[in-house]
Amino acid sequence: MPEILLICVLLIPQTVAGVLAFSMGRSFWFWFFISFLIPIISLIVLLFMDDKGGTATSYELADHVREREKETL
């Protein structure tokens, strides 16, 4: 029983890194496994990375798309 508790405690940094990465729009499993190699450093790197939210407002429209939108208005 203590072994299971120890494994659960040791998986906390990996799970936190995966959830944080997923909330930032990145791959949960990639950061989960990276965190096995470098647990604390991967969390620090994730904290300083920009969000990949995927919002349309963060991208500029191409010229031909912008012209098409003006024509339809």
What pLDDT digit, counting tens, does each position of 52-72 carry? 765 444 566 677 777 877 777
Rounded to a whole number of angstroms, the CA Rg of the chain reads 20
pLDDT at site 30:
92
For residue 56, the one-letter residue type is A
Place of tokens 């120890």: 6
> Looking at the predicted structure, is the pLDDT value of residue 6 above 80?
yes
Most distant CA pair in the chain, distance:
69
Residue 27 C-alpha from the chain's centroid: 6
Burial of 10 (0-12, 13-18, 19+ CB in 10 A): exposed
What pLDDT digit, counting tens, does each position of 17-44 carry? 999 888 888 889 999 999 988 888 888 8
pLDDT at site 9:
82
Structure tokens at 4: 């299971």
